[in-house]
Amino acid sequence: MKIRTSSLPLGLCLALLLSACGPSFTQPTPDGFVKLKNQHNYDYRAVTADGLVYSVKEISDAAKGDTAFWAKAVENKMRIQAGYALIDKKQVATSQGLEGTQMQFGFDRGKTPHLYSVTLFTKNDSIFVIESGGTKELMEAHRSDLEAALQSFRVN
């Protein structure tokens, strides 16, 4: 009986800890996408029927870099080391007022041109990495859906 009473606060603490480990953002699923479950490397990932993918990762920012720092790091990584073409780099903001940097890259998979978008937000010692990618044709066709999804992204 003693054991049961003492395990109650411990259980509460564990529950609190587990809830704290979960993603601290909200991402409504964009139109035409379905949310995928059990994603190990992504906190959120959704896909269209024809293979366009949208994802969100939350990364603990122990280094406490600002958005400009991380944007440059991603740009170098993708361009110089991975051979992606930087097509566009711009400042974006969500409807919540969160400001970040978005980079649009181009890359040929096989002989098919693909587009890959990376948007970075930093808040509460976290980096939020929003990626979307697919063939150039699909990405251009779903451009407004992807922009709407980004607008609706919220940090809790």
Binding residues for another protein (CB under 8 A): 36, 41, 45, 47, 51, 53, 55, 57, 59, 63, 73-74, 76-87, 105-109, 111, 113-114, 116, 118, 127, 129, 131-134
The minimum distance between CB 140 and another protein, in angstroms, equals 13
Instruction: Give dist(CA 145, CA 65) in Å, integer.
Output: 30
**Closer CB to another protein, residue 75 or residue 96?**
75
Could you tell me if 148 and 54 are in contact, meaning their C-beta atoms sit under 8 angstroms apart?
Answer: no
The token pair at 50 is 């024809």
Q: Which is nearer to another protein, 5 or 60 (CB)?
A: 60
Distance, CA of 98 to CA of 117 (rounded, Å): 18
Closest contact distance (angstroms) between CB of 38 and another protein is: 11
In whole angstroms, the minimum distance from the beta carbon of 116 to another protein comes to: 5
- Closest contact distance (angstroms) between CB of 8 and another protein is 37
Nearer CB in complex with another protein: 4/40 = 40
> 15 vs 59, which CB is nearer to another protein?
59
Nearer to another protein, 85 or 92 (CB): 85
Give the position of tokens 């990932």.
45
Task: Report, in Å, the least distance between residue 113 CB and another protein.
Answer: 5
